[in-house]
Amino acid sequence: ALLAGLARIVIDYLELRRSRAAGRIATLIAETTSDAIICADTGNRITYWNTAAANMLGWSAEEAIGQPLNLIVPERHRASHAGGLARVAAGGMPRLFGKVIELPACRRDGQEIPIELSLGKWSDQDGLPAGFAAIVRDVSDRKALEAERQRTQALLDTVIEAMPVTLFVKGAQDGRYTLVNRAFEALTDLPRDAILGRTDAELFSPEDAGVFMANDQIALASRDTILSEETLNRADGSTRVVRSQKLGIDPDLDSAPRYVLGISEDITEGRAAQDRLSHLACHDALTGLANRMKLTDRLAAMLDRSSGPLPGALLCIDLDRFKIVNDLYGHGFGDEVLVELAGRLQSACGDDALVARLGGDEFAVLCECEPDGVRALLLASRIVDAVKEPVALSGRVAHLDASLGVAVFPADGSSASDLLRNADMALYRSKAEGPGTISFFDVSMDHAVHQRRMIEAELRTAIGNGAIVPAYQPIMCLERNEIVGFEVLARWRHPTLGDVSPALFISVAEESGLIVELGRQILTMAATEAQRWSVPLKIAVNLSPVQLLSGDFAGDVMSVLATAGLDATRLELEVTEGFL
């Protein structure tokens, strides 16, 4: 019995030591943890307050122990807190035990902080509640971070929604949309609810969906941003063109992207503007025909083929008497005539020939043609017939003809510039021979063109020096057998060329516009000389249509007569039948 009693004493002592050791360990843990540990009895009095609680809430253990737990409970929550503790103390079912809840807590300085609370209880030997223990964690930093994340997310959502370009995210595996912004809804003309969770195949035409999905797969495989242009045909029948950037994002454990991020810009209007600019760059703004640049590019392409030049012909066209029509009726009517004739040329040449406007009243046609030039001749004949038909517009009628020069390639030139020059020389020949003429280039024309250009240069000098003078051809009255006047003729004796034919230098003067100054000069000389004659005979001066339609012709004539002192009744002005 003595040993048994001694054994019980030893066992109790050992248990007590173990209990005290466990208590010391528990206290050490409680004092070193970063979470606050607070205990209270059933009377709502604080019985334990660790160092972390002091640091967190501001009261020391000495100040807090013995105080009611309401010390750290905000005023607005104290009633419900007291009621809950009373209910548990009376044996009621706890609602918060075993749960992690978030509550506000009061600090000593009056500041409220968010805490995360885990609540437990212990009972006495009779199973009745003996006290409560709470592990409290300050979640201010986490809450601040969450708030910052929410603000960032809200900002990001706002930015995404406000972006003028479309943004979307699709699943990499199933291709279903998980995110779209407002711009995407506007572009597709579909509500967001109808888009999310669906695939391209379910939303768009098979052709469009196939392109979208193929580009998705390229982005996923490349692991880099890809650029593409895509076309979207909407349900209302309209078509939009978009420039898209796509990138695989959010890689899984195998580094495979789980989503496709896309940003698309609607470039429909920009592309249309670009197309218009491209069209204007190679088309004539008035007639819609090709311009010189497009003609030259097409001609160069036909000449520069790797398999050898494609045989063809270049036809240069000039509208005879168009300047007279333009001056007589105005540039507005002249433009209407050009548009009408452009349509006729296009109809006469067909779709397999390129019709271009080179400027003013000059046109050109480029077509495939055998080396014999037969097709070019037939085409030129159709053009002459098309142009000579009267042009009736706006209550007026214009009668025009076309002169054509033709160069066949590759025989007449191996470059676009050579062919244009040679066709232009052939055109010179046609204009010299009269309206409606068709001329094919030959090497002799080079000399003729050089001569006309040389004449033009010398003519400018001659007019400036007064080297072209009037000659007088008598006008006889057969009935009275006497001279009644003189026809004034222009004569030019060049120091090296000798007498230059009026037929040559007058036509050059008309083409270059020098005829206006030359005509005024001849009229002034003749009027001044006639005024000095002892007999008041008449003088008859020939007029070019260019003179008659240029500026204030009547005012110029009156000024010459006034300066010379010649009676206006002594002057006759003659125009050619061709002008009428």
**Could you give all domains of the chain from N- to C-terminal order, each with its CATH number?**
25-143 (3.30.450.20), 163-271 (3.30.450.20), 289-443 (3.30.70.270), 451-574 (3.20.20.450)
Q: What number is the average pLDDT over the span 4-22?
A: 58
Q: Cα 18–20–23 angle (5° rounding)?
A: 110
Q: 293-309: per-residue pLDDT in tens?
A: 999 999 999 998 877 78
Helices (H), 101-246: 140-162, 182-188, 192-195, 200-203, 206-222
Per-residue pLDDT band for 143 (boundaries 50, 70, 90) equals confident
Confidence at residue 1, expressed as pLDDT on a 0 to 100 scale: 47
Q: What number is the average pLDDT over the span 489-510?
A: 88
With a cut of 60, say whether residue 426 has pLDDT above it.
Answer: yes
Contacts (Cβ under 8 Å, ≥6 apart) of 205 = 233
Contacts (Cβ under 8 Å, ≥6 apart) of 572 = 485, 538, 539, 540, 541
* Cβ 290 vs Cβ 355: under 8 Å: yes
Q: 71-83: per-residue pLDDT in tens?
A: 999 988 888 877 7
Q: In angstroms, what CA-CA distances link 297 with 89, 292, 350?
A: 99, 9, 20
Distance of alpha carbon 120 from the chain centroid = 70
Whether the bond into 435 is cis, omega within 30 of 0: no
State the sign of the Cα–Cα–Cα–Cα dihedral 277, 281, 283, 285.
Answer: positive
Q: Of 27-41, 214-228, 448-462, which one has max mean pLDDT?
A: 214-228
CB atoms within 10 A of CB 67: 15
| DSSP symbol at 568 | G
Query: Residue 5 class from Cβ within 10 Å (0-12 exposed, 13-18 middle, 19+ buried)?
Result: exposed
Query: Residue 366 class from Cβ within 10 Å (0-12 exposed, 13-18 middle, 19+ buried)?
Result: buried
| DSSP symbol at 235 | T
Confidence at residue 335, expressed as pLDDT on a 0 to 100 scale: 95
With a cut of 90, say whether residue 455 has pLDDT above it.
Answer: no
Select the more confidently predicted residue: 82 or 146: 146
Count, residues in the chain? 580
Encode burial over 381-390: b for 16+ CB neighbours within 10 A, e otherwise. ebbbebbeee
Residue given tokens 């033009």 in the structure block: 456
- Report the amino acid identity of residue 118: S
What phi and psi, each to the nearest 5 degrees, are found at residue 229? Answer: -110, 130
Q: Cα 302–304–307 angle (5° rounding)?
A: 90
Per-residue pLDDT band for 423 (boundaries 50, 70, 90) equals very high
Contacts (Cβ under 8 Å, ≥6 apart) of 264 = 165, 166, 168, 184, 187, 230, 242, 243, 244, 245
* Cβ 404 vs Cβ 388: under 8 Å: no
Q: In angstroms, what CA-CA distances link 347 with 277, 353, 382, 424?
A: 26, 10, 10, 23
Q: 221-265: per-residue pLDDT in tens?
A: 987 899 999 999 999 999 999 999 999 999 888 889 999 999 999
pTM for this prediction: 0.52
Confidence at residue 438, expressed as pLDDT on a 0 to 100 scale: 95
**What percentage of residues in the chain have a pLDDT greater than 70?**
90
Q: What number is the average pLDDT over the span 345-369?
A: 95
Q: What number is the average pLDDT over the span 189-199?
A: 95
* Cβ 36 vs Cβ 56: under 8 Å: yes
Nearest CA to 505 out of 475, 467, 540 is that of 467
With a cut of 50, say whether residue 449 has pLDDT above it.
Answer: yes
State the sign of the Cα–Cα–Cα–Cα dihedral 100, 102, 106, 109.
Answer: positive
Nearest CA to 466 out of 528, 407, 422, 420 is that of 528
